[in-house]
Chain A
Amino acid sequence: MAEPLLQATGLHTYYGASHILHGVDFRIGSGEAIGLMGRNGMGKTTLIRSLLGHVQPRRGAVRWRGADITQAAAHRIARLGVAYVPEGRGIFPNLTVKENLIMAARAGLDGRCEWTLERILQTFPRLAERLSHGGGQLSGGEQQMLTIGRALMTNPELLILDEATEGLAPLIARDIWQIIRSIRGCGIATVIVDKNYGALLELVDRCVVMVKGRVVFDDDAARLSDEIVQKYLGV
């Protein structure tokens, strides 16, 4: 098998004294799409934050194309080509829409610059109409588009979407799924966390299911049986 883009082995992450991740293994290859699933509080966001250097795992290792990045600063990991759309958005409310986008602009690592401001604005016409608005003045759906657009401005190799459609009206959520689908079409590797398992399973190659800080399923999306869904994800 080809060398994975990002690989984590045996991650143990704590918040203070509480032990959240219990030896998590995770890998994603170039251009691959992974659905990261699990009920609330199972450690999905903590896994992402551990991969991105926002919280240091106490044990275990994270590698990017084989190079150890476990101790690397978050901004260094981002510059390797990892973009993050966090839970609860994370736009900069004190910057305009345009500033939110251009402050993040970076050429792709092989010098190509595929996502430009123009292309983002074509993809998200609603943002084009609101370029000079403050980020805080946007509706929830527009803020989510802005966060995704901003992530793409970094021309990432890997895009991580944590609950990107959470709390959005169904029509807006549908738009966001449409956009995620078109991003998938450009071959960027993606990790998607979402409660809409139907939409998620149509899109991803592989599923990783977490329960209480452990991975209990990691296989082709097609192999995710109703039984597993019922047992680990059902409400």
Chain B
Amino acid sequence: MDFYSFLIQLLNGLQYGLLLFLVASGLTLVFGIMGIINLAHGSFYMVGAYLAFSLAALTGNLLTAVLLGVTLSVLLGMLLEWLFYRHLYARDHLYQVLMTYGLILVFEELRSILWGDDVHGVAVPVFLSGSIPLTDNLSYPVYRLAISGICLLLAGGLYWLIRKTRLGMMIRAGAANREMAQALGINIEWLYTVVFALGLTLAAFAGMIAAPVSSVYPNMGGEVIIISFVVVVIGGIGSVWGALLAAILIGMSDTFGKVLLPEYAGMTTYLLMALVLLWRPEGLFRRT
């Protein structure tokens, strides 16, 4: 493999990994803070992609579609938390798995009723539609670079939110000792609603910006949820920074696995998981 082909694979791996991080960060945050195993988290990614598809068709512009889609996602997150998820906090993981698996089926059925079972494409916004030439016959699409850039910005924003803001301190405090946080005047129920809506919106946003490169199709959430759980487990359950590192590792191993070991491509991710867990059974990092 020459340098430019390598560079392209490296950028692809990074972009895939960072996108995975957006999905997995919400999953690990909701688990770390509220203790919920949310199998339906991948459906939020699918909802995002379909929202991008419909809203881009409606507004003629992916940027407007994303802004609208994010607003709708926040509202959907608050609604779902209020209707379903808050009843799971005090319950066993078995109930959580049952209910959130049920939600996957509901989301798939709703998707089938509202959008049908066809595959759809979403156009890249014009100002991001170019390519950067690398050699005479190799170039790299600007849109993929933009995805990586946006994801990095969001990862930085998430770090700032959790580490540097008062809201972040309250979230961490609530995760450590719920009763004490309440005794200091923190409205834990509201905090949980906010965290859940944040996690859902991150996944939906990932679906929106991925739509132009991955296209929009039935059961796209199912693929992403499995790999997201792998990310969460490798990173250390509940650790956002572990998820970032694990997502990039998986992005790389998957991308290079497909190029270098095409016949074993489906296995590289799980091999990586097995190796990391043999070395560190708790995952790479402790809870955030």
Give the contacting residue for A54; candidates B173, B182, B185, B189; CB below 8 A.
B182
Q: How far is the CB of A53 from chain B (nearest CB, A)?
A: 8
What's the Cα separation between A150 and B184 when bound, in Å?
A: 9
What's the Cα separation between A52 and B179 when bound, in Å?
A: 10
B186 at the interface (CB under 8 A from A): yes
Contact bitstring B187-198, A, C-beta under 8 A = 1, else 0: 111000000000
Q: How far is the CB of B195 from chain A (nearest CB, A)?
A: 15
Q: How many residues of B are in contact with the other chain, CB < 8 A?
A: 20
Q: How far is the CB of B285 from chain A (nearest CB, A)?
A: 13
Minimal Cβ-Cβ distance residue in A for B190: A75
Give the contacting residue for A103; candidates B175, B184, B189, B287; CB below 8 A.
B184
A86 at the interface (CB under 8 A from B): yes
Q: How far is the CB of A156 from chain B (nearest CB, A)?
A: 10
- Contact between chains at A78 and B172 (CB < 8 Å): no
Stretch among A15-23, A88-96, A177-185, A211-219 lining the B interface:
A88-96
- Contact between chains at A106 and B185 (CB < 8 Å): yes
What's the Cα separation between A154 and B185 when bound, in Å?
A: 9
- Contact between chains at B182 and A74 (CB < 8 Å): yes
Contact bitstring A45-86, B, C-beta under 8 A = 1, else 0: 000000011100000000000000000011100110001101
B177 at the interface (CB under 8 A from A): yes
A99 at the interface (CB under 8 A from B): yes
What's the Cα separation between A92 and B173 when bound, in Å?
A: 6
Q: How far is the CB of A103 from chain B (nearest CB, A)?
A: 4
- Contact between chains at A104 and B179 (CB < 8 Å): no
**What band does the interface of chain A fall in when counting residues whose beta carbon is under 8 Å from B?**
20 to 34
Q: A75-B188, A102-B166 given as contacts; is B183 within 8 A of A95 (CB)?
A: no
Q: How far is the CB of A10 from chain B (nearest CB, A)?
A: 24
Give the contacting residue for A75; candidates B173, B177, B186; CB below 8 A.
B186
Can you give 23 A-B contacts (C-beta < 8 A)?
A: A54-B182, A54-B183, A75-B183, A75-B185, A75-B187, A75-B188, A78-B183, A78-B184, A86-B179, A86-B183, A90-B183, A92-B173, A92-B176, A94-B172, A94-B287, A95-B169, A99-B169, A102-B166, A102-B169, A103-B170, A104-B184, A154-B184, A154-B185
